[in-house]
Amino acid sequence: MSKLETTANNNSIPDRNDRMIKVRNITIIGLVINVLLAVFKITISIRSGSLSLLADGLDSALDIATVIFGFVAIRIAVRPADKDHHFGHAKFENFFSLGVALLLVASSGIIGYQAITKLINKTSSIYDPYNLIIAAISIVLKGVLVWLNVSVGKKIKSPILVANGKNFRTDILTSIVVLVSVSIGHRSIGSFSLYWVDPTIAIIISIIIIITAIGITRDSAGVLLDESPDEETMLKIEKYTKEQTGVKEIGNIRARSVGANIFLVDIDIYLDPTLTISEGHDIACIVEDALKEKLPIKYIQVHVEPYHTHEEEEKNEHEEK
């Protein structure tokens, strides 16, 4: 006996329209901020020759792509199930998160190559006060983007927004070290030139970006590889199932993620073998409704099995022999 439920519980899974409105608003804010930062950083860095600021500017340019990536991913992810995707499209969001990670790796490679070239050539940057101003502004604006993406992303259970938030968080660290770099990279201590400060910091930035990409990949891969929920969620599934009237015992519990904190659950429940098919079906429905009400579960399949005491099982085994 089983029942596959395909209707999401509104109390546990964010409403699609409300989710898209929040994502759209954050996308617009992110695009405006990153376009302005990218233009100013790249323009000023070309004039001053600061590689670290140029790297920061290229990172902001890539952020434009990741923000657009995120919006497109969520638009696809909220589509309902269809004949080709029976469990919906939620995993597309995690798939696009991997795209964000790949863009970060690409940007770090470009930055690292340019930094090493500058170290070899011993090229110094030119002091420009606008370097300091744009780096300071970047710290403040990226802080706003981190707060918006992470807080809203967790609220609406969006891995792509959280991934973007983590990316912007590294951007803050990047802008801080850039601020240091553009402050002293053009200076010398006696005859000792500090030309190496700017490219060295650029290399550090590229390493930070790679670490962020690894974190995003790890988070998204878990969902794409059907990772099970955490132990606390599994224990709650067991607890809430056992609480339902008529459930004598439970057997195997199998669960996997099908998207942004949305799970598919397959569970065996043991009932009184004297119950009718209709009565067993009603209890299975009660179990499904209870779990969907209390947990972010979108699909549940319940298998009904006859319950026997230990003594009855021994008797049946003896009779079979």
122 exposure class (CB count in 10 Å sphere: 0-12, 13-18, 19+) = exposed
Domains detected in the chain? 16-224 (1.20.1510.10), 231-320 (3.30.70.1350)
- Separation CA 215–CA 93 (nearest Å): 16
pTM: 0.56
Closest alpha carbon to 157 in 320, 279, 36, 8? 8
pLDDT tens-place string over residues 115-144 = 787 778 776 666 667 777 888 888 898 888
DSSP element (H, E) containing 132: helix 129-155
- Residue 311 three-state SS: helix
pLDDT value at position 270? 92
> What's CA 109's distance to the chain center, in Å?
23
Share of the chain above pLDDT 70, in %: 75
Collect the ranges in the chain with pLDDT lower than 70.
Answer: 1-17, 51-52, 66, 69-70, 73-74, 76-78, 80-81, 85-91, 93, 123-128, 181-182, 184-193, 222-223, 225-226, 258-262, 309-321
Structure tokens at 29: 């804010």
Angular region, 87: left φ>0, alpha ψ -120 to 50, beta rest: alpha
**Helices marked H in 187-267 — which ranges?**
197-224, 231-242
Phi, psi angles (nearest 5°) of residue 193: -80, 145
